Amino acid sequence: MARSGVRFEDVQRAIDELMAAGQSPSVQRIRESLGTGSFTTISEHLREWRKRREENRDVPPPRGMPAALQELAESLWQQAQESANEALAHYRREADDKVDEAQESVTAAERRAEDAEQRETALSAHLTRTEERLTEQTAELARLQADHDNLQANEARQRQACQRLEARVDELQREIERQAQAHRQEKEETEAAHQARLNQEEQRHEAAEARLMGLLDEARQERQAADKAHVTRCERLEKRLEAAKAEQQALQEALKEEEKKRRAEQQARREVETARVNLDEERIRLGARLEDLQAALASRQARVEGLEKQLEARLWSSLEKMQESQARLEAAAENASGPDDAGPEQREDV
């Protein structure tokens, strides 16, 4: 059904102007004359105009035309109209099918492009969040590494302190040995005279030894406690470090996967854009082909109209010649037989 943008009267007025200018009416020329309207609407109005013109042409033939000539003219005109209508219907169906297919392809391509854009937006947001988490994990890993380095430095300092204590213990032991040796020498030389002093020295030796043993016990306990605490903290830090490394590895793998998906989405989007461009080009090409077909149809219609005019002219010429021949035959018959020689029956025999 024609749309209400361009009326039939407007199309008919444009057709009258074109025919007055000696041009055959076509969809393109009518649209150029009107300056507006769709090809579909103008084409439907043009078909209606031709239908009405054919109905107006359906009048009795002129008097005196032979029946055989009249039937021949009507048969030729009917064949020309059927051929033109079949070609027009075929071209219009083919063009409409192409346009519908192109429109459906464009709609599907636009829908896929919108889906690809939405997936790319979500993927970009997810990738941003993943990068932020990776940055945070990297900072946490650096902090844990710094704590581990500090613990190792503390362990080195404690080890050095233990070494100093052990050196001090060795020095005290050597001092005790020297004192014991001097004490034994003094005891051998002045055992009797210095018995009281020996007792005093023995007490001093026992006190020093007791003090030394206490220092050794304290140093061993402190070292054991420090070693145990260090081992515990190292194990805890190593576990946290391994967990952080595992999470970092997982995040890196997820990041690689997201990058792969993003590249795939970009490739799909480029393919959709290419398909959209191809569909646009196909739609333009089909539109141009439809215009060419309409122009060809208009040209064919003009040729049909020209043939119709030629046929009509030939028919009228043949009719005039037949009338002239009939008049000459009648005149010759009248001249050949007078009123006294032959009656009506004899003239009929002649």
Q: What is the CATH number of the domain that holds 161?
A: 1.10.287
- Token pair for 327: 């008049």
The answer to whether residues 284 and 258 belong to one domain is yes
pLDDT score of 106: 63
- The pTM assigned to this predicted structure is 0.27
Helices (H), the chain: 8-20, 27-34, 39-57, 67-189, 195-336, 344-349
Q: Is residue 127 part of a domain?
A: yes
The answer to whether the beta carbons of residues 120 and 265 sit under 8 Å apart is yes
> Can you spell out the DSSP letters for 95-148?
HHHHHHHHHHHHHHHHHHHHHHHHHHHHHHHHHHHHHHHHHHHHHHHHHHHHHH
The answer to whether residues 118 and 188 belong to one domain is yes
Q: Which residues in the chain show pLDDT less than 70?
A: 1-4, 56-74, 77, 80-81, 84, 87-88, 91, 95, 99, 102, 106, 109, 113, 194, 198, 205, 234, 337-350
| Domain interval for residue 33 | 1-55
CA distance 222 to 277: 80
pLDDT score of 343: 46
Burial of 290 (0-12, 13-18, 19+ CB in 10 A): buried
The answer to whether residues 225 and 296 belong to one domain is yes
pLDDT score of 16: 92
pLDDT score of 347: 42
Contacts of residue 46, defined as CB under 8 A and 6 or more positions apart, other chains included, come to: 11, 15, 25, 26, 27, 30
Q: Is residue 98 part of a domain?
A: yes
Q: Is residue 346 part of a domain?
A: no
The answer to whether residues 87 and 46 belong to one domain is no
Q: Is residue 63 part of a domain?
A: no
- DSSP character for 62? P
pLDDT score of 1: 42
The answer to whether residues 266 and 160 belong to one domain is yes
pLDDT score of 3: 46
pLDDT score of 134: 84
The answer to whether residues 179 and 250 belong to one domain is yes
The answer to whether residues 156 and 22 belong to one domain is no
The answer to whether residues 101 and 226 belong to one domain is yes
188-191: long-range contacts, CB 8 A cutoff, minimum separation 24: none
Number of domains present in the structure of the chain: 2
Cα distances (angstroms) measured from residue 331 to each of 3, 321, 335: 64, 15, 6
Identity (one letter) of the amino acid at 195?
Answer: Q
The answer to whether residues 1 and 119 belong to one domain is no
Q: Is residue 180 part of a domain?
A: yes
The answer to whether the beta carbons of residues 201 and 183 sit under 8 Å apart is yes
The answer to whether residues 77 and 14 belong to one domain is no
pLDDT score of 45: 93
The answer to whether residues 265 and 126 belong to one domain is yes
CA distance 99 to 101: 5
Q: Is residue 64 part of a domain?
A: no
Q: Is residue 339 part of a domain?
A: no
Q: Is residue 222 part of a domain?
A: yes
The answer to whether residues 89 and 185 belong to one domain is yes
